[in-house]
Amino acid sequence: MLSTVTLTLLKGFLGTLRLFSETLLFALPLGLIISFGSMHKLKILRLPVRFLIWIIRGTPLMLQLLVIYYGPGIILGNNVWGSGETGRFIAALCAFVLNYACYFSEIFRGGIQSIPVGQYEAGQVLGMTKGQIFFKVILLQVIKRIVPPISNEVITLVKDTSLARVIAVYEIIWEGQSFIKSAGIIWPLFYTGIFYLLFSGLLTLFFGFIEKKLSYFR
Amino acid sequence: MRILEVLNIKKDFGYIEVLKDISFSMDSGQVVSIIGSSGSGKTTLLRCLNFLEIPDKGVIKVRGETLFDSDKPDTRSEEAIRQKRLHFGLVFQSFNLFPQYTALENVMLAPSLREKKSFNDEGLRKRSSDLLSLMGLGERMGNYPHQLSGGQQQRVAIARALAMNPDILCFDEPTSALDPELTGEVLKVIRELARQKTTMIIVTHEMAFARDVSDVVIFMDKGVIVEQGDPKDIIDNPKEERTRKFLSALSRN
Ligand SMILES: Nc1ncnc2c1ncn2[C@@H]1O[C@H](COP(=O)(O)OP(=O)(O)OP(=O)(O)O)[C@@H](O)[C@H]1O
Ligand SMILES: [Mg+2]
């Protein structure tokens, strides 16, 4: 029994892992782009971006999942996501990417804006280009400052992936719960908790390592 | 040789006129000190020379070449300005070293980017470490800024500015952020640079230093140059009432 449960949960965890890693893959760069938009000097760019961030951060991810999955079907009259498992996964991924990109963008904005203007000016008077100043001077300082808040978000994401089940995306809790009906046992559900704990433990170690790597300067 | 001519520089921030009509010039190898009370526009003037601010009006010429002319818009493009900045260096009151680089790397960064050389380039390393040695930091090249005292950081910043070989090196109150016991070591290296005929403009509140290091002292007040000339004349026998007031207020503190 233990091995059947383990295998099933492992399969579910693979779904969790896939949603988790693909969300990060797209949300981190998108978040950087959104943060540039939210800091742009042109109002016509900045205000809509800030509005989007407000909407996304101000409503539950659960609601966003439902709206993104069912919305197009109801409004446009055809389900853009298709009917299969893949379609549901992509819909969930879109919701997660959008949601997390907005949170990341605020972390990036905070990080970028916390760098003293003297750092830019020192680069400028040395004749460096804007790109050189950003990549050679600013970026690493920003990364150092945002590692702790990013690590927080990433660990939250591990657990948030379980929300995807509301649109029937198979992940680990979905699989764990299935044993309640099929075999009348609840312990597989607790077992899923161990997966989460181990994974977030690994991530904590990983981010701790990065923080340590960047501790050589202040 | 005339190295710098500044003609009728004006700069506003909104409705405050910070620089009203600044003109002065200096020769190669000279040291010009700028003194004046807080808010008189000294920092703004240095920032205009380094194009961190763009003057609203006026002309800036280096070695006879017009770097900036408010009447000629073609002198104002971003890339053009970046090239022109290289005529000037600026040492900030707050050092502004790059924290993720060692002292040596701080000095090497800008030249390495400009000359497309790596940090391992022999010539670049030699040049940069020589500059740090000149600053008395031969032992500190591998240290990061947070491992250095304020006086050491400021000396790294001076070496970093010198590494780009500017025609004119500007200092904005280089010792104001330092504890009194650390100002001496920074003033000493500036004195040494003056002895080597480095062309410098120094904004400072250190009157004794200004008097014996500079060839010309400029006294600024409320955005205008009130008086300029030989340091001994200006500091010991000022002609203008405003200069006298400023100097006596300074010596009272
Ligand atoms: N970016 C800015 N925006 C608006 N006002 C500014 C700006 N920079 C400077 N000022 C104003 O310009 C005036 C001159 O400032 P500046 O920093 O040039 O004076 P300063 O002579 O260097 O003074 P201090 O001795 O205190 O350094 C001040 O009134 C200051 O408030
Ligand atoms: Mg100032």
Question: Domain of A34: which CATH number?
Answer: 1.10.3720.10
Assess contact for B9 and B19: CB atoms under 8 A: yes
Assess contact for A164 and A173: CB atoms under 8 A: no
Assess contact for B75 and B66: CB atoms under 8 A: yes
Measured CA distances, A121 to A117, B53, B54, B85, B95 (Å): 6, 11, 14, 11, 11
For the CA of B14, the nearest atom of ligand 1: 4
CB contact under 8 A, A121 and B82: no
Distance from the alpha carbon of residue B43 to the mean position of ligand 1, in angstroms: 7
**Tell me, what's the pLDDT at B72?**
86
Nearest residue to B200 (alpha-carbon basis) of B186, B189, B212, B190: B190
Least CB–CB distance from A141: residue in B82, B94, B100: B100
Lowest-pLDDT range, A2-11, A150-159, B162-171, B185-194?
A: A2-11
A128 phi, psi to nearest 5 deg: -80, 150
* Interface ipTM > 0.90: yes
**Tell me, what's the pLDDT at B218?**
97
**Tell me, what's the pLDDT at B79?**
84
Beta bridge partners of B227: B219
Select the more confidently predicted residue: B77 or A199. A199
Which residues approach ligand 1 with their CB closer than 6 A? B 13, 16, 18, 36, 38-44
Report residue A3's pLDDT band, with 50, 70 and 90 as the boundaries. confident
Tally of CB atoms within 10 A around B56: 15
**Tell me, what's the pLDDT at B250?**
84
Separation of alpha carbons A124 and B96, rounded Å: 12
CB contact under 8 A, A125 and B88: yes
Chain A, residues 99-128, CB within 8 A of chain B, namely 116, 118-119, 121-128
Per-residue tokens: B204: 């400072």
Which residues lie below 8 Å from residue B96, measured CB to CB, with a gap of 6+?
Answer: A116, A118, A119, A121, A122, B157
Q: State the total domains in chain A.
A: 1
Asked whether residue B76 carries a pLDDT value surpassing 80, the answer given is no
Q: Is A4 exposed, middle or buried (0-12, 13-18, 19+ CB in 10 A)?
A: exposed
**Tell me, what's the pLDDT at A159?**
93
Least CB–CB distance from B96: residue in A122, A136, A216: A122
Assess contact for A68 and A60: CB atoms under 8 A: no
CB contact under 8 A, B113 and A122: no
**Tell me, what's the pLDDT at B244?**
93
Q: Which domain covers residue A114, as residue numbers? A: 2-217
Identify all chain A residues contacting B92, using CB atoms and an 8 Å cutoff: 118, 121-122
Cβ pairs A/B, distance under 8 A: 64
Most confident range, picked from A199-203, B78-82, B249-253: A199-203
